[in-house]
């Protein structure tokens, strides 16, 4: 019952015959429609494989999730969150798109955009850090994608350079929506407070518990790294859109400095640093970028820059926002 597919495996194909008559065909895809290739990576509950649609020869990344493992580890809810958010975010170049979902007896399959460049984190590690031009470009693409997801009522809650993938063109594709929060859209507002925070529901409570209590039994809980967690999640156990902008500030810092701002020997010490706003800029950190980061890494989420403020900050001077940003050639990483 839990796995009931609500039609995401279906796509509509338009066909025009020699007389110019249009017909539409509903296409239901399944495992047999793809050739599976190399393994792109492994998650705690999934394996991601490169695959080609046999008919169209289009390449995808297919995430294969083991049903028994997910049920045993009580992650059904998070798999559903990932699918539902991706379905809601179907139309932005900076977000991994979900094309089809289907299943067989053993596994669930998510057919996704293939991000051939891999994780942004890989490039940061390889290069040590990014220069201002590259940070500006990747920062702008990440921010544009955040703006879109927030406009669709989605808070990501786990933004970090591992979850920023790169496509063939070396453009950003944000992934990993398994811990996202879907807000009620304005027309159906239910539990939103005036300050934009959402009430703790069960899902959010579990999330806070999982990261708030360092528990070695749960070493493999779904929040992999503590470094990007916002202070409000640690103190009030609540996340808001501003929590993603905190993580965005951490990412900008990391691209330029080569390390995240809050990093310690263990999760507990990292959390201490976060709630005490204890971080330092390395020597030579660009001044305009420092100003931006200082206005994002603010403990009170209501006092952080808004997305509009960030877009007009001097650090992003010269960036063409919106569609233009995605037509631009990525600067060579150096």
So which residues are the catalytic ones? 158
Q: Using the minimum distance from each CB to ligand ATP, give the nearer residue, 168 or 195.
A: 168
Minimum separation from the CB atom of position 64 to ligand ATP (A): 9
Q: Using the minimum distance from each CB to ligand ATP, give the nearer residue, 63 or 197.
A: 63
Query: From residue 83, how far is each of 88, 175, 184 by CA, in Å?
Result: 9, 11, 17
Task: By CB under 6 A, name the binding residues for ligand ATP.
Answer: 40-46, 48, 61, 63, 96, 112-115, 118-119, 165, 175-176, 222, 224
* CA pseudo-torsion sign 253, 254, 256, 259: positive
Distance (Å, whole) CA 193 – CA 232: 15
Minimum separation from the CB atom of position 120 to ligand ATP (A): 10
The residue written with tokens 């009030």 in the block is 236
Token pair, residue 226, equals 């503590």
Distance (Å, whole) CA 332 – CA 115: 17
Q: Using the minimum distance from each CB to ligand ATP, give the nearer residue, 225 or 272.
A: 225
SS3 70: helix
Minimum separation from the CB atom of position 48 to ligand ATP (A): 4
Pairs from 185-192 (Cβ < 8 Å, separation ≥ 24): 185/153
Q: Using the minimum distance from each CB to ligand ATP, give the nearer residue, 40 or 180.
A: 40
Asked if 64 and 107 count as a contact pair (C-beta separation under 8 A), the reply is yes
* CA pseudo-torsion sign 148, 228, 115, 111: negative
Token pair, residue 103, equals 């299943």
The residue written with tokens 């290069």 in the block is 127
Minimum separation from the CB atom of position 75 to ligand ATP (A): 9
Q: Using the minimum distance from each CB to ligand ATP, give the nearer residue, 46 or 238.
A: 46
Distance (Å, whole) CA 233 – CA 206: 12
Minimum separation from the CB atom of position 37 to ligand ATP (A): 12
C-alpha radius of gyration, the chain, whole number: 21
**Total length of the chain:** 334
């Amino acid at each position: 019952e839990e796995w009931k597919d609500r039609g995401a495996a279906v796509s509509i194909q338009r066909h025009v015959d020699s007389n110019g008559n249009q017909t539409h065909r509903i296409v239901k895809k399944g495992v047999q429609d793809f050739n599976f290739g190399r393994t792109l990576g492994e998650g705690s509950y999934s394996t991601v494989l490169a695959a080609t649609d046999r008919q169209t020869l289009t390449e995808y990344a297919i995430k294969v999730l083991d049903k028994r493992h997910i049920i045993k580890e009580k992650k059904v809810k998070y798999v559903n969150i990932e699918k539902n958010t991706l379905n809601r975010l179907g139309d932005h170049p900076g977000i991994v798109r979900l094309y089809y979902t289907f299943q067989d007896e053993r596994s669930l399959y998510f057919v996704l955009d293939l991000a051939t460049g891999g994780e942004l984190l890989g490039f940061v590690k390889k290069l040590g850090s990014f220069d201002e031009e590259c940070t500006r470009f990747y920062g702008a693409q990440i921010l544009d994608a955040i703006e879109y997801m927030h406009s669709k009522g989605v808070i990501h809650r786990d933004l970090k350079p591992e979850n920023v993938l790169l496509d063939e063109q070396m453009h950003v594709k944000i992934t990993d929506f398994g811990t996202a929060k879907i807000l009620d859209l304005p027309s159906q507002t239910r539990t939103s407070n005036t300050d934009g925070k959402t009430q703790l529901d069960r899902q959010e409570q579990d999330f806070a518990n999982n990261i708030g209590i360092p528990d070695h039994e749960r070493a493999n809980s779904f929040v992999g790294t503590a470094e990007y967690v916002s202070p409000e999640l640690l103190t009030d156990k609540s996340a808001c859109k501003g929590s993603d902008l905190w993580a965005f500030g951490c990412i900008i810092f990391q691209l330029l400095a080569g390390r995240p701002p809050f990093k310690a020997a263990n999760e507990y010490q990292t959390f201490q640093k976060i709630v005490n706003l204890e971080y330092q800029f390395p020597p030579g950190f660009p001044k305009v970028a420092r100003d931006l980061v200082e206005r994002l890494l603010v403990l009170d989420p209501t006092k952080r820059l808004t997305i509009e403020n960030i877009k007009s900050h001097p650090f992003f001077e010269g960036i063409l926002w919106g569609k233009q940003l995605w037509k631009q050639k990525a600067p060579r990483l150096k």
